[in-house]
A and B are shown apart, each in its own frame.
Chain A
Amino acid sequence: MTEPKPVPFASNEIRLSPGQWLVAVAIVAAVFVTAPYVWTQVEPFDPGPGYRLPYSLSSDYWLYSRWCGQVAERGATPIIGDSVIWGHYVDTDQTLSHHLSARASDCFANLGVDGIHPAALAGLLDYYAGALRGRAVVLHSNLLWMSSERHDLRTLKEFAFNHPRLVPQFYPDIPCYRESAAGRLAIVIERHLTLAGWLNHLEAAYFGNRSLPTWTVDHPYANPLGAVTLDLPLPDEPPSPRPDARPWTEKRMPPFDAPWVTLDDSLQWRSFRRAVAVLRERGNGVFVLMGPFNEHMLTEGSRAVYQERKREVGRWLAEQGIPHLAAAPLPSEDYADASHPLGRGYARLAERLLGSEAFRRFLAAEAETKASE
């Protein structure tokens, strides 16, 4: 074989020696490692006691993580859950955490995320709530997520569900979740990169949840740096579209016959148990609040199945030695839909919770822990 002709290196001068590469990598690494931490000093984030993650930042897990850190620092008791805890139909001064804080000597923090379901919640706690390590937490269990195969993410047909970046990417398989292997791998890796979370925060907080390139195409003559105002969206910003905060009865919503899935087959139930396991492995004291589901909205047969599921969950919690309260249903007019209370309902729920012996014991144990610290 003849020798090949020499090949030109490139049509540019960007060619670094190994030593120059080391310098370049060191600079890049220093920038990327420090940027998120420096940012926490630059961007004001001083949430008041009634703070909750703003609706438009529901997927801003970096801010959630920062919020968790603040909650842990202040010694507030976090209440973790989905939109029931977040308060989908109410303002920040009507949420469960607000009513609890107003009625008890302890301070409660709203760590609910709108639209999150157990499969995503387990991921959220696993990857972004490490700052809560060792704290006592109230975890909400909403059986709505087991009320059908669709809620349980078990349908074969693909559909867009909330917070796909938090669900297990490879195992267990979620049949309705279609994402390329490359996409799943990227998600798994980016969960462990603070930088990726921070960049996502910038996109969520200042660029309308769009990537920077997309934002500049939508705002062709705007300066992207000018959009970074350091003013984060407010926690009272309502969901979009704005929910109809009337009782479900006024909205003429018909009762429904929920095709409940069995707990043994339920992905969401397995995920809930994973969420509990994650918390307990981190040394968190866990109190589980079940419901209160709007049983008035269920048909008679469906209500019976729901109550059976509730008992099964209660039995499991008891077996695990986890203090819990299976909240009795609120008056029908206190609900906005199948699972969300209205402001009045939250106040009533807070009173019931504080009246619960298990909850009082849980809080007392927490107070003792804090005192010993």
Chain B
Amino acid sequence: MLFHTWVFALFLAAVYPVYLLLKNTRWRLPWLLVASYVFYGWWNPLYLLLILWSTGVDYLVVLGMSRWRRRKAWLALSVVNNLGLLGFFKYGGFVAGTLNALLAWLGAPPVVPEPGILLPVGISFYVFQSMSYTIDYYRGHVEKEPNFLRYATFVSLFPQLVAGPIERARNLLPQLHRPPRIGIDDVADGLSLFVVGLFKKLAMADYLALYVDKVYGAPAEYEAPALALATVAFGWQIYFDFSGYTDMARGVGRMLGIRLMLNFHHPYLATGLGDFWNRWHISLSTWFRDYVYIPLGGNRRGEFRTYVNMCLTMLVSGLWHGASWTFVGWGAVHAVGRVLTRRLEATPFYRDRVPMLVKRVWVFAFVTFAWIFFRAHTFDDALLIVGRLARFGWADPRFPLVAVGLVLAVWLYERLYESELRRMLQLVPVRVGLVVLMITWVVVFAASAEQPFIYFQF
């Protein structure tokens, strides 16, 4: 069930009034849980077995940790169970394919059967969310949640279930403990967030996708200008797509009286690669920081280990995004970038002397370059695109000017937002006018109502 479809509109129209009626009763959580399971089961009811399994095991693990010793063993059970689920459903085919390719390279026949299982939507998100609870409990950062219904609602809360933000128990569980305070302002705020997300998804991401898909579908047919523009367009597409989803999720959450975390904060205005990761998919970046980078030692074991830890974290992050070597390549490019620029970014020269615009352009160029590996269908395609870009061959890219205008308008808005002219954006006529424009644009110019979100595949 996609947020930008009539099915979701009807779903919300059925769920929300009942939720408002039940919000101060003990039936609030069961209703939210049922709604969340209907939302998730809409893709495939069998997926519910998986989420129930993951939820049930982690709930019991924390109970086990609270009652018996050997807390580490319980934690290991949770980690193995969650990563096992992820490994089997997400990476089974990738591992089998890689092993078979290796065998073929050695001249042996393929012997590892490929599972051929469809990746359950959102598994990477809810598995990480559930696992963070057991780790946080182990570390003493959260209290045990005794109520299974509440815990299950925390794992499966429908606005953020399939593509985040990956919420932490310490933010979300307390909100499920008390009846929500929902005023008319919350509904208005929720609508504001939702409309911005809808605009980002339908007017921007799906539009840019038309060009990106065409070029990346057959990169050998295009020269450097088209490949460069398609890569830049993809950078904006994935930003609008994912941050649009998050905005809609946060908007629906707000209407339910639940505050979900900010997941994107103008990442393309970042002035360093470290800054970029503080602004891009914040819930995942902080997850990897807290549960991978810091346990590996973080920056506490000397400079060399810090770099090793950073590289490992980036590679794992790449692999989290997809079971393919292109994603590992994307993580590797970012790892190299971070290693090369970490010290530079900390120098007074870079901080104070390099003009802001230069820093922003450099970060945007680097991040955009890395997207090549993220978007290309195969590693060979990615290398072909890099090769063509380096060759500077000319052919008319035929990139739609309307798309250029749209992206520039959004970029300009973001620049204004981060400048001293921000108060102009706060004027009531400007805000109302922008909402009217966005809704009109979405209705008149929407590319398609059924393009799934890119991050659903992760």
Q: How many chain-A residues does the 8 Å CB contact rule pick out?
A: 44
List the interface of chain A (C-beta within 8 A of B).
Answer: 1-5, 7-18, 20-21, 23-24, 27-28, 31-32, 180-183, 185-186, 189, 195, 199, 211-214, 216-217, 219-221, 224
Q: Please give the distance in Å from B177's CB to the nearest CB on chain A.
A: 6
A-B contact count (CB 8 A): 140
| B211 closest partner in A (C-beta) | A217
In the complex where A21-B188, A216-B402 touch, is A13 in contact with B417 (Cβ < 8 A)? yes
User: Is B191 an interface position by the 8 A CB rule?
Assistant: yes
| Contact, CB under 8 Å: A18 / B187 | yes
Q: Which residues of B sit under 8 angstroms from A189, Cβ to Cβ?
A: 6
Q: Which of B10, B260, B422, B450 contacts A7 (CB 8 A)?
A: B260
| Contact, CB under 8 Å: A182 / B450 | yes
Q: Which of B196, B207, B211 contacts A10 (CB 8 A)?
A: B196
Inter-chain CA distance A189–B428, complex, in Å, is 33
| Contact, CB under 8 Å: A31 / B440 | yes
| Contact, CB under 8 Å: A195 / B402 | no
| Contact, CB under 8 Å: B400 / A18 | no
Inter-chain CA distance A211–B448, complex, in Å, is 8
Inter-chain CA distance A187–B259, complex, in Å, is 34
6 contacts between A and B (CB under 8 A): A1-B143, A1-B173, A10-B192, A13-B425, A32-B443, A212-B444
Q: Which residues of A sit under 8 angstroms from B447, Cβ to Cβ?
A: 211, 213-214
Encoded as 1 (CB less than 8 Å from any A CB) or 0, chain B from 236 to 275 comes to 0000000000010010000000011110111000000000
| Contact, CB under 8 Å: B189 / A15 | yes
| Contact, CB under 8 Å: B450 / A180 | yes
| B210 closest partner in A (C-beta) | A217
| Contact, CB under 8 Å: A7 / B261 | yes
Q: Which residues of B sit under 8 angstroms from A214, Cβ to Cβ?
A: 210, 447
Q: Which residues of A sit under 8 angstroms from B450, Cβ to Cβ?
A: 180, 182-183
**New A-B contacts (7) at CB < 8 Å, excluding given A12-B425, A14-B192, A213-B445:** A14-B435, A18-B188, A182-B449, A185-B6, A186-B449, A212-B444, A214-B447
| Contact, CB under 8 Å: B431 / A13 | yes
| Contact, CB under 8 Å: B185 / A17 | yes
Q: B residues 399-458 with Cβ under 8 Å of A?
A: 399-403, 413, 417, 422, 425-426, 428, 430-432, 434-436, 438-440, 443-450
Inter-chain CA distance A286–B428, complex, in Å, is 57
User: Is B170 an interface position by the 8 A CB rule?
Assistant: yes
Inter-chain CA distance A58–B189, complex, in Å, is 43
Inter-chain CA distance A221–B399, complex, in Å, is 8
| A179 closest partner in B (C-beta) | B450
User: Is B285 an interface position by the 8 A CB rule?
Assistant: no
Q: Which residues of A sit under 8 angstroms from B445, Cβ to Cβ?
A: 212-213
User: Is B107 an interface position by the 8 A CB rule?
Assistant: no
Q: Please give the distance in Å from B353's CB to the nearest CB on chain A.
A: 27
Q: Which residues of A sit under 8 angstroms from B403, Cβ to Cβ?
A: 216
Q: Please give the distance in Å from A164's CB to the nearest CB on chain B.
A: 15
Q: Which residues of A sit under 8 angstroms from B170, Cβ to Cβ?
A: 1-2, 4
User: Is B5 an interface position by the 8 A CB rule?
Assistant: yes
In the complex where A185-B10, A220-B400 touch, is A11 in contact with B189 (Cβ < 8 A)? no
Q: Which residues of A sit under 8 angstroms from B247, Cβ to Cβ?
A: 10
Q: Please give the distance in Å from A75's CB to the nearest CB on chain B.
A: 36
Inter-chain CA distance A2–B136, complex, in Å, is 13
Q: Which of B250, B259, B431, B436 contacts A4 (CB 8 A)?
A: B259
Encoded as 1 (CB less than 8 Å from any A CB) or 0, chain B from 179 to 218 comes to 0000011011101110110000000001100110010000
| Contact, CB under 8 Å: B5 / A8 | no
| Contact, CB under 8 Å: B196 / A7 | no
| Contact, CB under 8 Å: B210 / A182 | no
Inter-chain CA distance A27–B436, complex, in Å, is 7
Q: Which of B171, B207, B265, B434 contacts A11 (CB 8 A)?
A: B265
| A15 closest partner in B (C-beta) | B192
User: Is B175 an interface position by the 8 A CB rule?
Assistant: yes
Q: Which of B1, B171, B401, B422 contacts A220 (CB 8 A)?
A: B401
| Contact, CB under 8 Å: B5 / A4 | no
Q: Which residues of B sit under 8 angstroms from A20, Cβ to Cβ?
A: 188, 428, 431-432
Q: Which residues of B sit under 8 angstroms from A28, Cβ to Cβ?
A: 436, 439-440
Q: Which residues of B sit under 8 angstroms from A14, Cβ to Cβ?
A: 192, 195-196, 431, 434-435, 438
| Contact, CB under 8 Å: A21 / B191 | yes
Q: Which residues of A sit under 8 angstroms from B398, Cβ to Cβ?
A: 220-221
Inter-chain CA distance A181–B8, complex, in Å, is 11
User: Is B7 an interface position by the 8 A CB rule?
Assistant: yes
| Contact, CB under 8 Å: A17 / B443 | no
Q: Please give the distance in Å from A367's CB to the nearest CB on chain B.
A: 45
Q: Which of A1, A5, A13, A185 contacts B422 (CB 8 A)?
A: A13
| Contact, CB under 8 Å: A11 / B266 | yes
Inter-chain CA distance A185–B250, complex, in Å, is 25
Q: Please give the distance in Å from B283's CB to the nearest CB on chain A.
A: 11
Identify the interface centre among B206, B400, B425, B440: most chain A CB within 10 Å of its CB. B400
| Contact, CB under 8 Å: B259 / A221 | no
User: Is B2 an interface position by the 8 A CB rule?
Assistant: yes
User: Is B174 an interface position by the 8 A CB rule?
Assistant: yes
| Contact, CB under 8 Å: A1 / B443 | no
